[in-house]
Structure 1
Amino acid sequence: MPAGYRPRFGGLVGQGGIRFAAWSSAASRLWVSIFDERGNREIDRLELRSEGEGVHALFVAGLAAGTRYGFRADGDYAPERGLWFDPDKLLVDPYAVEIDRPYVYDDRLTARRGEGTDTAPLLSKAIAGALAEPLAALPPLFQPGGLVYEVPVRAFTMLHPDIPKQQRGTIAALAHPAVVEHLKKLGVRAVELMPVTASIDERHLPPLGLRNAWGYNPVTFMALDPRLAPGGLAELRQTVAALREAGIGLILDLVFNHTGESDRFGPTLSLRGLDSRAYYRHWPDGSLVNDTGTGNTVACDHPVVQEMVLDTLRHFVRHAGVDGFRFDLAPILGRVEGVFDTDAPLLRAVRNDPVLGDRVLIAEPWDIGPDGYQLGNFPPPFLEWNDRYRDDIRRFWRGDRGMVG
């Protein structure tokens, strides 16, 4: 991979302007919507040009880092066939590296085409960013056999009396000396952060006065949740550095198996509106495959999806210095036309990638699809969560009869 590698897609800040690029094999037209500095008012809508092979792009002179934007797409609208094109739906850039506000569920995001609901006022805007220079490549601190501490960032730091109130519940709080000392006393070799990328509540939660506390419902894969990282990517980068100085690695738990667009009753937020048939797996009749139990399944055997996953992983290694990743419902990443393959193209690409190949790679080795329990079947260097070991240890410490032997 060239030293100056940049993804093909997203809002790429360059000399004198921004190149906006998105991928769709089925859209007839794509636009980029440019918003004011607060992300509240659409001030321009510019059509992207087809560059062939599904790439739609446009360089807009005069724009700079900090520009707030979203995409819109048009084409056939036939949800029963997996086609959801609707120019009234603002779509968050799948390559967004920052968003201007947390994702908030609203029933109007599920409106059908022709119902007159422009969703721009309801949805987060991507912020085009000029990323810091990539970090020098350092080998991961964590080695197999060390203690991994799984951490829900908000809950872990929200009530800690030694952490300043304005910092509680954030990634930065993990770098506080009181937290670092606690982790060192426990002998922790790596913290594994439960999802810190921006997520959205499932539709049944708001009416109950509840919210998704753990974050396993992403919309986009690169942008951090502004509530957990008000300082953006720099906050994660600084926390990784502080923990590394203490001899502690940092592993990100990432969700590539589904998104918060849910089933056919869910909201149109990003991938669904760009090209649902390509980004999600569908049955021949056009209905969504649900190997995740969440309503949709990301098509990790599609080359463009694979490119997006790899670009996301490289982003967090090159620009934040993370030591590795834990993959939620990891068999999805290894399914080819629905069948798990230990040598699937995406798994092979991660292993062989010059940026990713030496990272800590941990698979949650099950999903709810056919032959979804794959414990012991992920190829080296993948490590795996082991539910049998976990359950036996729990029974032992609980004192279940017959466990002492």
Structure 2
Amino acid sequence: MAARRRRTVGSVTPWRPGALGATVDRAGIAFAVPAPDATAVEVCLFDAPDGAEVARIPLPARDPRGIWHGHVAGLKDGQLYGVRVHGPYEPARGHRHNPHKLLVDPWAREVVGAVALDDATFGFRRGAPGADMTFDERDSAPFVPKAVARKPAKAPPPGPGTPWTETILYEAHVKGLTMLHPDIPPDDRGKVRGVAHPAIIDHLKDLGVTALELLPVFAFSDERHLPPLGLTNYWGYNPYAFLALDPRYGTPDDFRAMVAALHDAGIEVILDVVYNHTAESDEEGQTLSLRGLGNRTFYRTRDGGRRYVNDSGCGNTLRLEDPLCLRLVMDSLRHWVTEMGVDGFRFDLAPTPARHHGPFDPTGPFLAAIAQDPVLSGVKLIAEPWDIGDDGHQTGAFPAPWVEWNDHFRDAVRSFFAGTGSAGDLAGVLAGSSAAFAASGRPPQASVNFVTAHDGFTLRDLVSYDRKHNEANAEGNRDGTGHNLSWNEGVEGDSDDPAIVAGRDARRTGMMTALMAALGVPMILAGDELGHTQRGNNNAYCQDGPLSWIDWGKADRAFLAVVRDLIAWRKATPAVRRTAFFTGAEDPETGRRDVTWLDGAGRPRLSGEDWDRDRDVLGVALGEAPADAPPLLFRAPRRDQ
């Protein structure tokens, strides 16, 4: 493991650690690396992402919190570096330090290069008996990204600050949105520069959405089973650096330019963020960053420390009970707001970071830290309110000002328009799912309503497939949910039967109408308005290709017009953007109820018997709508025809 030291560096002196990671000043760069159980920490310098190590600098001091620090004179902004940590390697006790493994600074503002699935990136000897208990001495530096020391940057101009009542979310993937758009220059496709292109921004404005919610953009790597199958992680839910943009999407400056362009168009930027796990996975995973810095500090462990709590379903779980781990997450969130300009976050598997010593805790460290933070408490906060841990379904349990993805809405709308649901269930979610959200004192906007999302069928596939078709994922079609609440109208996949096509189009329109008519905040999956299909694949996380990329050349222009008109109708209809749940009370001035539910004959549903009748038809008369406005009518398909 001899280092190739060719560069002479300036003086190395202790530094008073404030900010963690690398801090660039006029005299050089200060490094502050949290490694509480380490015996020594070294910063390694590189001149190129794939070049040899040119210097290795022991950090001279450690503070009582376990933060190793030092200032290196003469280094400049843009310096490439990594970290090596010496300390106990005792996996049975949760210690996995290995100085042969170059670590990515988790506080790095920028990284270059990519993670390679090479045996040298594992802290143990793969394939050996009791593999994860062994010790590997190969140098991983050629196979891992390098951090880039950067000065803090100025954020783009602030966004429009759209209130939740006016918000319409559009969930998209940077590459999937841009890769096949003919008007975007080839060099910008698949990157944030492509998202900033007028072709994309004009589409979003014309559609009428107010916020672009991007799938994860943090630096991420592949799950270890994918490269041998010829597959890659496409979605990005496998991060290793929480402050750094993945280099595949461009540079931090590119990202800020994208945010500025979207803000200039009146569109907010929401990031889908993953703070429940990292790409290091379980005890058989790679050593890339946190595992080598302080395994017991950053991860929730079990069995004496050797194995990992896995509430995320991805191999490990971050330990936000520890102040250093919590600080990493908080520093990351503030960085994306104050330096990158984003307007909010959607938290993947949000109960996982909100767990406190096991159970979900709405008053625990994670949610409490965000609530008191003067920066983060004022941005949009969206929870995916479930994980796979014990008591993991927490829809409705997050505190104000959080809003939540509403799976009750998704399931009720899907079931109704598949001919298996009921008018009563549909009415409940059109009314804002008050049973889930009213008790917390939050308004209907606490519910983010969606029919489809990145995870599952597209809208077109929802009306075209009875079964998932995930064979391309090379997992024997075992991955992905089997609970799709879909219906193909008798033909699996595409059909040229005019009656089937008409029926499917009617159901797509019905579901999109329900989405725009419901109390709460609507979210559209990118491509649904264009008729995008993934050919029945409901778990396309590893499909980085035409299956996942939106094919703009095959856009369903007729349905695009339908969606555009529905969004415009929502914006012009205050009754569906109200901030109070329906009560059924009469307005003494107009004599009309705030909402009246109707049966198939247009009669009010006043009793349980009324709801049992015409379960496949629901009419909705909104009291705040003009008196001559016709009621909304939702009709489920008859599956016996």
Asked if the contact 1:16/1:61 (under 8 Å) is kept, the reply is yes
Determine helix, strand or coil for the equivalent of 1:222: strand
- The C-alpha deviation readout for 1:76-119, integer Å capped at 9, x for no partner, is 11122211111101010010111111333323312426433100
Say whether 1:80 aligns with 2:92: yes
> How far 1:392 sits from its partner (Å)?
2.1
1:293 aligns with 2:308: no
Check whether the contact 2:311–2:388 (CA below 8 A) recurs between aligned residues: yes
Give 2:78's aligned amino acid: G
Q: Which aligned pairs between 1:56-205 and structure 2 lie closer than 5 A?
A: 56-112=68-124, 114-134=135-155, 140-141=161-162, 143-144=164-165, 146-205=167-226
Distance in 1 (alpha carbons) for counterparts of 2:338 and 2:349: 24
CA distance in 1, matches of 2:77, 2:281: 32
1:336-347 to structure 2, matched below 5 A, reads: 336-347=356-367
CA gap 1:280/1:115 in 2 versus in 1, 3 angstroms? closer
* 8 A Cα contact 1:157 1:168, kept in partner: yes
Match of 1:233 in 2: 252
Q: Give the SS at the match of 2:339.
A: helix
Structure 1: distance between partners of 2:173 and 2:159: 26
CA distance in 2, matches of 1:115, 1:283: 23
Question: 2:98 touches 2:123 (CA, 8 Å); kept in 1?
Answer: no
Equivalent AA in structure 2 for residue 80 of structure 1:
A
Higher Cα Rg: structure 1 or 2? 2
Q: For residue 198 of structure 1, give the secondary structure of its aligned residue in structure 2.
A: strand
Find the counterpart in structure 2 of residue 249 from structure 1.
268
Structure 2 gaps, min length 5: 1-16, 125-133, 423-615, 619-641
Shift of 1:201: 0.2
Work out whether 1:386 is the aligned partner of 2:406: yes
3-state SS of paired residue (2:76): coil
1:145 deviates by 5.2
Distance 1:142 1:100 in 2: 37
Distance in 2, matches of 1:142 and 1:266, equals 42
Displacement after TM superposition at 1:343 (Å) = 1.1
- What per-residue deviation string (whole Å, max 9, x for no partner) do you get for residues 279-316 of structure 1? 00012521211111111000012111111111111111
- Counterpart residue number, 1:283: 302
Which residue pairs with 1:19 in the alignment? 30
Q: How far apart, CA to CA, are the structure 1 residues paired with 2:184 and 2:415? A: 35
CA deviation digits over 1:45-102, x for unaligned, max 9? Answer: 1111212221101100000011110111111111222111111010100101111113
Q: Which amino acid aligns with 2:80?
A: R
Once residues 7 and 361 of structure 1 are traced to their aligned partners in structure 2, the CA distance between those partners, rounded to angstroms, is: 27
For 1:259, the equivalent position in structure 2 comes to 278
Cα deviation, residue 146, structure 1: 2.0
Q: Is the 8 A contact 1:150 1:193 kept in 2?
A: yes
Query: Does the Cα contact within 8 Å between 2:216 and 2:237 map onto a contact in 1?
Result: yes
The 1:44/1:310 distance shift into structure 2, 3 A limit, reads: same
How far did 1:131 drift? 2.5
Q: Look up the match of 1:395.
A: 415
State the 1:39 CA deviation: 4.7
Question: Which deviates further from its counterpart, 207-216 or 135-144?
Answer: 135-144
Letter in 1 for 2:239: P
**What residue is the counterpart of 2:373 in the other structure?**
353
Residue pairs, 1:313-328, within 5 angstroms: 313-328=333-348
Cα–Cα, structure 1 residues 401 and 46, in superposed 2: closer, same or farther, change >3 Å?
closer
Shift of 1:401: 5.9
CA contact (8 A) 1:12 1:129 kept: yes
- My pick for the range that moved more, 280-289 or 243-252, is 280-289
* 1:142–1:190 Cα contact (<8 Å) kept: no
Once the two structures are overlaid, the 10-residue window that deviates more, 348-357 or 67-76, is 348-357
Q: Give the letter for the 2:69 counterpart.
A: A
Q: Secondary structure at the match of 2:254?
A: helix
Shift of 1:399: 4.8
**Structure 1 Cα separation of the partners of residues 210 and 217 of structure 2:** 20
Q: Deviations over 1:129-167 (max 9, x none)?
A: 122235566663352452111101111110001111110
- Partner amino acid, structure 1, of 2:138: T
Q: Report the CA distance between 1:13 and its aligned residue.
A: 0.5
Structure 1 runs (4+) deviating above 4 angstroms are 134-139, 397-403
Conserved 8 A contact 1:140-1:358 = no
Aligned to 2:504: none
Q: Does 2:319 correspond to 1:308?
A: no
Task: Please tell me whether residue 208 in structure 1 is matched to residue 219 in structure 2.
Answer: no
Q: Whole-Å Cα distance in 2 between the matches of residues 221 and 56 of structure 1?
A: 20
Distance of aligned partners of 1:378 and 1:228 in 2 relative to their CA distance in 1, 3 Å threshold: same
CA contact (8 A) 1:142 1:249 kept: no
Separation in 1, partners of 2:117, 2:340: 29
Q: Look up the equivalent residue of 2:180 and give its one-letter code.
A: L
Q: How many residues align?
A: 398
Counterpart amino acid of 2:263? R
Q: Which residue of 1 aligns with 2:629?
A: none
Q: Could you tell me how far apart the structure 1 residues matched to 2:40 and 2:229 are? A: 39
Among all aligned residue pairs of Structure 1 and Structure 2, give the percentage whose two residues are the same amino acid: 47
SS in 1 for 2:41: strand
Contact 2:220 2:279 in 1 (8 A): yes
- The normalised TM-score by structure 2 is 0.60
Q: Report the TM-score when normalising by structure 1.
A: 0.94
Structure 1's 40 and 144: CA in aligned 2 closer, same or farther, altered over 3 A? farther
Aligned pair partner of 1:50 in 37, 43, 62: 62
Question: Any conservation in 2 of the 1:249–1:322 contact (CA below 8 Å)?
Answer: yes
